[in-house]
Amino acid sequence: MRFFDVHTHVQFAAFREDFQDVISRALENNVWMVNVGTQKETSEDAIRLAHEYAEGVWATVGLHPIHTEVSHHDEQELGGGEAAKSFTSRGEDFDFDIYKKLASDPKVVAIGECGLDYYRLLDDSKKKQKEVFIKQIELAGEIKKPLMIHCREAFGDLIDIIKSEIVNLKFSSPGIIHFFSGSKDDAKILMDLGFSFSFGGVVTFAKNYEELVRYTPLDRILLETDAPYVAPVPYRGKRNEPAYVAEVAKKIAEIKGVSLEEVAEVTTGNAFRTFSL
Ligand SMILES: [Zn+2]
């Protein structure tokens, strides 16, 4: 059995001391992973890490919506100390050429995480978020790699943008909506547009996800940890890591009434297909 954690962040500061052990634990447990970039530095770090492994570790590059404007500082992501002070209020401009160069690396399997986040809007940054998201859709279209989408409290605008830009994404799997938190109606529209969903630790403890997991066909489901955040039961409250993705798979198998082997096989197959591996 092989599991594929399609959305994790082992390149983040939270793993600075032991990222090699964390990755070894995952690989020994047959867990492959994609380390997802959130801004320029974490995108570059994800690529560097992927190149240290012959197989089983890939990267995405992108600019997260919360890093486009007055920026939320996360010590688990960027580190503490002096770095925290200098980064706290920095917003990044999306430099298409720099990201295009990064995205062309053979270890890069998707563009993102990109999208819209209206939950933590510190000022009126919706316009900038939308512009930066559209540029990343254009990049995905140009280099023919799928999107890794983050969306929080913004599904109406997200769907409008995807519909108007979908001509750029004329390949079989346009992308993954990670940590999906929209409605069943949103899910239906996004599936009709070709998108899949990655579910993480939250499905192991939030009952309201069960209906959504039941509703989504297994061939549109991928597994994620979003480590270091949101560890699944029985690791809640601890730092999350890719090896724990098996707990997510177990819960999905339970909700769907299928075997763990089937969840592993289908979701890993979905990852290979989406990322053209
Ligand atoms: Zn993430």
pLDDT tens profile 7-36 = 999 999 999 999 999 999 999 999 999 999
Question: Residue 47: what pLDDT?
Answer: 98
170 or 118, higher pLDDT: 118
pLDDT over threshold 70, residue 72: no
174 Cα: distance to centroid of ligand 1 (angstroms): 18
pLDDT tens digits along 144-158: 999 999 999 999 999
Report the share of the chain in percent with pLDDT over 90: 83
The whole-number average pLDDT for the span 112-129 is 85
pLDDT over threshold 50, residue 89: no
200 within 8 A of 230, measured Cβ to Cβ: yes
**Structural domains in the chain plus CATH codes:** 3-274 (3.20.20.140)
58 Cα: distance to centroid of ligand 1 (angstroms): 14
Question: Residue 67: what pLDDT?
Answer: 85
77 Cα: distance to centroid of ligand 1 (angstroms): 10
What confidence category does residue 167 fall into, taking pLDDT thresholds of 50, 70 and 90? confident
193 Cα: distance to centroid of ligand 1 (angstroms): 22
The whole-number average pLDDT for the span 223-234 is 97
114 Cα: distance to centroid of ligand 1 (angstroms): 10
Rounded CA-CA distance 232/251 in Å is 10
List C-alpha distances in Å: 112 to 34, 239, 244.
11, 23, 23
If one counts every other C-beta atom within 10 angstroms of the C-beta of residue 262, the result is 15
148 Cα: distance to centroid of ligand 1 (angstroms): 9
Q: Which helix (H) or strand (E) holds 155?
A: helix 155-165
180 Cα: distance to centroid of ligand 1 (angstroms): 11
Produce one character per residue of 21-54: b if its CB has 16 or more CB atoms within 10 Å, e if not: ebbeebbeeebbbbbbbbbbebbbbbbebbeebe
Task: Please list all protein residues whose beta carbon sits less than 5 angstroms from ligand 1, which is an ion.
Answer: 226
174 within 8 A of 137, measured Cβ to Cβ: no
Mean pLDDT, the chain, whole residue set: 93
Q: pTM, whole model, 2 decimals?
A: 0.94
What confidence category does residue 76 fall into, taking pLDDT thresholds of 50, 70 and 90? confident
Token couple for 259:
């075997």
49 within 8 A of 35, measured Cβ to Cβ: yes
Q: Which helix (H) or strand (E) holds 152?
A: strand 147-152
**DSSP for residue 158:** H
126 Cα: distance to centroid of ligand 1 (angstroms): 20
1 residue type, one letter: M
